Amino acid sequence: MLDALNPNAWDKADRALDALRMVLDPELGINIVDLGLVYDIIVDDRTIEVEMTLTSPACPLSDRLTHDVTAALRLTLPEVIDVRVNFVWQPAWDPMMMSPAARSLLGW
């Protein structure tokens, strides 16, 4: 959980979010943050845990996204020892979770 009184935790969470903006959905070519797939980033001294979802539980790309998320976080935050990616299904992803820019790119 993010320690609200620790400015270092806020900085690390911001840097993690920026790193996740570099991770593109392989099918749509839009970053996973703007797609609304990232639900939470949990920051500890040496651990970052990402709770995210996929557009469908049947999506075959979970392994690739796990790899890409882990690589982006390790590159941006080399001090982090452990990266955990947890896929969650509640709440179910909905296109309204996308940013306006992502919806526009997809013609919605």
1 inside domain: no
Give residue 88's domain range: 7-97
Domain-embedded: residue 74: yes
In a domain, 102, yes or no: no
pLDDT in tens, 24-69: 999 999 999 999 999 999 998 899 999 999 999 898 999 999 999 9
Give the model's confidence band at 14: pLDDT under 50 very low, under 70 low, under 90 confident, else very high: very high
Mean pLDDT computed over every residue of the chain = 92
CATH number for position 91: 3.30.300.130
Q: Binning pLDDT at 50, 70 and 90, where does residue 104 land?
A: very high
The pLDDT value given to residue 6 = 62
| Tally of domains within the chain | 1
Domain annotation covers residue 55:
yes
* Residue 54 domain flag: yes
- Which pLDDT score, from 0 to 100, does residue 45 have? 83
* Residue 3: pLDDT over 60: no
Residue 40 lies in a domain: yes
User: By percentage, how much of the chain surpasses pLDDT 70?
Assistant: 92
Taking alpha carbons only, the member of 78, 92, 68, 80 closest to residue 43 is 80
